Amino acid sequence: MEHLTDLIFDASLLPALFIAMIAGVLSFLSPCVLPIVPPYLAYMGGVSVSDMGSESAARRRALIASLFFVLGLSTVFLIMGASASTLGRMVGGARDWLTKGSAIVIMIFGAHFIGVFRLTFMDRELRVEAKSQGGSSFGAYLLGLAFAFGWTPCLGPILGTILGLATGQDAPARGGVLLVGYALGLGIPFILVAAFFPRLKGAMAFMRKHMGRIEKISGLLLWTIGLMMLTDQFSALAFWLLETFPALAVIG
């Protein structure tokens, strides 16, 4: 058991895990997620958006629903991450080529977001609606599953980046950890909005106003990750972290 824990949670995973969580936050701030957050939370909690802004009981219902929503997200992304790592192990010696190919695709996605060129197919959305009524924890869990499966291709480029990182991991559990990190980066802001909706309305309006800049930041992150994957710099970053912060050595 101790050997398995060391295999999953060693310091070399930290850079990729940090990037996965940041990528999740950027997905939350994307144009096809941020605008729908208040009505989505209200539907899941079985309340109205105006109630969320004025009634603590309504916010509590939305908060509980958001927790189950994030659990649904994490379920799907955990399976995706483990599957990507398993695929990477199956291809064996070709894994390096698969990683480099993924890196090039990720850099193309990054250039799209930065505005170097536009890929029209990435400007469309495919949304899967869950056939459940709002106001129940199970319904919120189902919506989390549907959101993870269906909010494409909007989430596709950033999610694909983390899947590319997961493919290069040595164990399925490590890939699963990366995707759970992504799910938390995407899901925790949902929980925070549900808990503090009246205080965050102004911040959300500000972010919607500056959506173009957020998209360019996302593109720059993707391009940088792709370049690091292409030049095998994640290992160098892990070694730098261990040298700079020796306490991290106790993790693995």
User: Does 233 map to a domain?
Assistant: yes
Separation CA 45–CA 215 (nearest Å):
29
If you search the block for the tokens 């991450």, which residue do you land on?
A: 81
pLDDT at 110: 80
Who's near 137: CB < 8 A, 6+ residues apart? 64, 65, 68
The DSSP string of the chain is -HHHHHHHS-GGGHHHHHHHHHHHHHHHTSTTTGGGHHHHHHHHHTS-HHHHHH-HHHHHHHHHHHHHHHHHHHHHHHHHHHHHHHHHHHTGGGHHHHHHHHHHHHHHHHHHHHTSS--GGGG--B-PPP---TT-HHHHHHHHHHHHHHSBTTSHHHHHHHHHHHHT-SSHHHHHHHHHHHHHHHHHHHHHHHHSHHHHHHHHHHHHHTHHHHHHHHHHHHHHHHHHHHTT-HHHHHHHHHHH-GGGGGG-
| Range(s) of the domain holding residue 150 | 8-251
Provide the residue-wise pLDDT of the chain in tens; the chain has 252 residues: 444 444 445 556 777 788 888 888 888 888 778 888 888 888 888 888 887 877 788 888 889 999 999 999 889 888 888 888 777 777 666 667 777 777 787 788 788 778 887 666 555 554 545 444 456 788 889 888 888 776 655 666 778 778 777 777 767 777 888 888 899 999 999 999 988 888 887 888 888 888 888 888 888 888 887 887 778 776 676 666 666 666 555 554
Structure tokens at 158: 């950033």
User: Does 40 map to a domain?
Assistant: yes
User: Does 1 map to a domain?
Assistant: no
User: Does 166 map to a domain?
Assistant: yes
Per the confidence metrics, is the pTM higher than 0.85? Answer: no
Domain total of the chain:
1
User: Does 2 map to a domain?
Assistant: no
User: Does 3 map to a domain?
Assistant: no
